[in-house]
Structures are given as C-alpha cells and as structure tokens.
Structure 1
C-alpha cells in the first residue's frame, strides 16, 4: 500500500495499537517486520500510520502477538480496511486536519460523553451561537473562514440527529448556559435547543449548578468518544497547541472515572431541564 503524506488520527491510532500489541508480546520491530516480509522502515511506517496494512497482515500480526481478543482484532481490521470517504473529506485542504479527525472520530463512535464548563457543547450549538464563538475566538478570520468552521460544526451534529444517532450524555456547567455568547435573543434560542434535544431518548443532559458545593472540576472540559471496544476509546482535550487525542489505557481510565464523578454530582436530567427552562425564561 502507498505511503500517506499525512495520516488521519484514525490511521495513526491503528498503527499505535499494532505497536502496543507488538510491545506487549515482547517483540522487536525487526522481528515483526520479518513476519510480514517487509523491512524495518516499512514496519515503522505501518506503526505510525504512514503506510496502510491489509486485513491479512493485521490478523497475522495479531496471531503472532498472541492476541486472543477477537473483538479488538475485528475492530483493528475494520480500521485497516474501511476505505469509505465521509462527508468531512470535502473540507480537506480548507480546514485544519483536526476538524476532519474529529468528524471521523464521531462517525465511528459507539457513544459520546461530554463535560462542558464555559461553552455549550459543539453538538448542541445553534448556528448563530457557533458563528459568534468562532468569530470571537478568531478575530483575524475573514467571514468565509468562519463560515466554513460553522458549516462543518453543524454537519457534525448528524451523529446525534441523523437516522442512526449514537447515545449522547453531556454534563454542562451553569456558567456555559448563562454566558450570552451571541446576545440575549440568541442565547434564548440556544437554551431552547438544549431543551428540545434533551427530550430525545438517546440524549441525556445534566447541569452542574453554581449552587453545588465543593465542585472542583471547573477545568475539566472534555470529550469521551466510545470505540467498538473500550481499549479503542478516545479522549479529546483542548491543548495550547491545538486538539489533543488521548488514548493511553491509564488516561482513558482516569477520564472515565472523572466523567462518572462529575455526572454523579450534577442535577438529574429532569432537574437539569427545569433549570435550563428557568434560565430561558429569565432572558
């Protein structure tokens, strides 16, 4: 298979998981390369996502790595062989790669958990809210650049609004609900949208109220995207240099526990809807 100029996050994750399996088996890269009849450079390219890998080779590696987790192997095979081009590909070359990686991550997700502290989660944002947010955060952007980002964000909502939506569980701090990002009228529409979406069977919205005592998670904005098996879950974090994808086992477990803790401290879904409704009436 040919070399890729810039592997996607999904392609890089496949290579990383193959490397983890090799290391767990105690094999060197040169030994793994000999199993496939390739050289060490080619093996390095496979494990970095620069080169693709066939189903046969994934299964051969898994067998020689003594991996008996059939669900994991099948998931890795799907990652290796899925050549479908999603809607996000139309933005390749016009938006940063991270935008496309996020859309692809959502597309393959089995569920999604969000914790939002300052801003309404992207999947629940209205177009006007998103436009105001992108415009304010990037004042140097011309209007067409802002439009592309807003358009992309609106299309990403398909994962919870489309024909086959994924389970979506989000915890939103009251601060995010009270900040008038796009003015009072737009904020009312934004709160109405949250109320409307919270009624869907596959969506759960919980709110952390200001009145909650001893809440120390104010800096814990995060996105937890479920994979086909827990090992392939991904945490998305905003970092100073851009979007960061977290996939180490220890970090995944840390954020799973953190989400459970924040969710337990939040209001119930009904109490949360009541609070959002009250805030909307105040505008």
Structure 2
C-alpha cells in the first residue's frame, strides 16, 4: 500500500536501511522481490519509502540479508509499522514538514545530544524567547503556530530520556529578545540543568582550540545505536544523516565538544575551587551583566 502525503524522514530511513542491507547481501531488487512475491519496481518503491512493507516480508528480507542483530531488527520493525502519529499530528499543515520530522525522531530517542552556536536549544526556550525568534517572520507558517509547536516539543524533558547540551557562549550573550527576557531565559537554563537527566555545558569564547564543528547539530539515539540520526542545521533546511560514517563522525565531534567545553552546571555540589572557570560561573557572570 502506498503512503498518502509527503514521505517522512522515518519512512525514508526505513527504506534506506532496507536498501543498504540488500546491497550488502549482494541481491538485486528483482531477487529480493522474488523472495516475498514482489516485482523489482515495488522493491524500489519500498526502499524509497513510497509504499509500506508488512512484518512478514520484512522478516524474510532480514533473514535473507543476514541481519542477525536483534536490537537492529526490532528497531527497524518498529520504524516500519509506525503510523507516524503523535502529539505533533495536530500541527500537520501548520508547521513545516521538517519540524514534524524532528518531533518524530526525538520521540523515538532515549538519548539526545545537542550543540548550539547562536540560539538556546529549542527544547529549552521560554515562550518570550521563542516569540522573539519568530517575530516578524513571513510565509505560510504563522509565528504563533511555530512557537506553540516549539513549546510542545519540550514535553520530552519530562519523559524517560537523557539530554546533553553544549551551548556556545555566543548564544548566551545574544540580546535580540531584550535583556529582561534573556535574564529569565538564563535562569531557566540553570533550573533545567538541575534535573538529573540533563547535562549542560558552555563552550566559551576563550576555548583554546578550534571547535570540531562549524554548525549546530542534534544527535538522536534510540535503543539501537545503529539507527541513530544526526540532524544538522543548514541554510535552507535541516539535513538528516543516518549512515554509519556520519553517525560515527558526529558522535566523535560531540565528544570532542564535551572535552573542550567548561565543566557542566552542577549546583548539587559546592564549588571546590573558585578559580576554576565552569559553566555555572559563566552563566552567573552573564546574569550579572544583564542586571547592570
């Protein structure tokens, strides 16, 4: 059965994984189709995410492709049978499709690692900050709907997931929302950083080495690490990467950013050495500047 409407990133990823496995197994589309009673063109449409694949055919293909990893098989099967529906469904036609794709990828993840250069991460933005970002924007998407969607995403902070944020100091110094809004926003970051499932670090201007990534990105890990997704900010739209090379490269980049960034915000333990600069100290300094 064919999909109705635009093809989501989940559907594309499901098809990409099937094609990758088939190619690695040395089978043509026609040979794979013969295993499950499908013609070659139908196999190609399935691998392009245009038509669905039932669980029985998926199992036959995974066996024939030599895929024995139970976590991968389970994760791929879940992607294949998903309806793509969730809290974000109410925003269909009201926000860009790339925003819906982002919400669905986040929903499948249990660990999220985010590096941001110029803005506070979306799931940490307060309403006034988000409104300042979308204020004055034009096009088919209303600023009100985009703000509501961004705030709705933040429910994942209350769910059973872990988060690691590395935020460039530049993002913390931006004053486009106004000093009062930025002060409240920084206080909110400190509050969120106290959650046991959240780690927050600042990458300072004074970092001694060049950061390993020139742009912001979000690393989303589900139960099966091989089905992780990296979402990279681009000028026109966000790009999704799921190939093993990109996953390994961006995991290494984030680990490097963690090493370069200041020690995380940690209010649970007293600071042992006031001379050591850390993320908490930078944010306190910026708060002081905003009240002068």
C-alpha displacement of 1:98: 0.5
Q: Could you tell me whether the CA contact under 8 Å between 2:215 and 2:232 is conserved in 1?
A: no
The TM-score normalised by the length of structure 1 is 0.94
Corresponding residue SS for 1:114: strand
Say which is worse superposed, 213-222 or 258-267, in terms of deviation.
213-222
Q: Could you tell me whether the CA contact under 8 Å between 1:114 and 1:170 is conserved in 2?
A: yes
Q: Could you tell me whether the CA contact under 8 Å between 1:195 and 1:277 is conserved in 2?
A: no
Partner of 2:198: 203
Query: Aligned pair 1:280/2:287, yes or no?
Result: yes
Query: Aligned pair 1:225/2:241, yes or no?
Result: no
C-alpha displacement of 1:141: 4.7
C-alpha displacement of 1:115: 0.6
The TM-score normalised by the length of structure 2 is 0.91
Q: Deviations over 1:37-82 (max 9, x none)?
A: 0112211111111111111111110001111111101111111123
CA distance in 1: counterparts of 2:92 and 2:146, whole angstroms: 12
C-alpha displacement of 1:228: 2.2
CA distance in 2: counterparts of 1:218 and 1:4, whole angstroms: 37
Q: Deviations over 1:225-261 (max 9, x none)?
A: 1122111111101223311101111111111111000
Q: Could you tell me whether the CA contact under 8 Å between 1:5 and 1:50 is conserved in 2?
A: no
CA distance in 2: counterparts of 1:126 and 1:134, whole angstroms: 13
C-alpha displacement of 1:217: 4.2
Say which is worse superposed, 223-232 or 170-179, in terms of deviation.
223-232
C-alpha displacement of 1:83: 2.8
CA distance in 2: counterparts of 1:72 and 1:181, whole angstroms: 44
Say which is worse superposed, 34-43 or 171-180, in terms of deviation.
34-43
Q: 2:178 aligns with which of 166, 183, 189?
A: 183
Moved over 3 A (4+): 2-5
Partner of 2:58: 58
Structure 1 residue runs without a partner (length 5+): none
Partner of 1:39: 39
C-alpha displacement of 1:215: 2.8
CA distance in 2: counterparts of 1:133 and 1:84, whole angstroms: 28
Partner of 1:48: 48
CA distance in 1: counterparts of 2:117 and 2:235, whole angstroms: 17
RMSD: 1.6
Q: Relative to 1, partners in 2 of residues 1:23 and 1:149: Cα closer, same or farther, differing over 3 Å?
A: same
Alignment of 1:129-148 (within 5 A): 129-135=129-135, 138=137, 140-141=138-139, 145-148=142-145
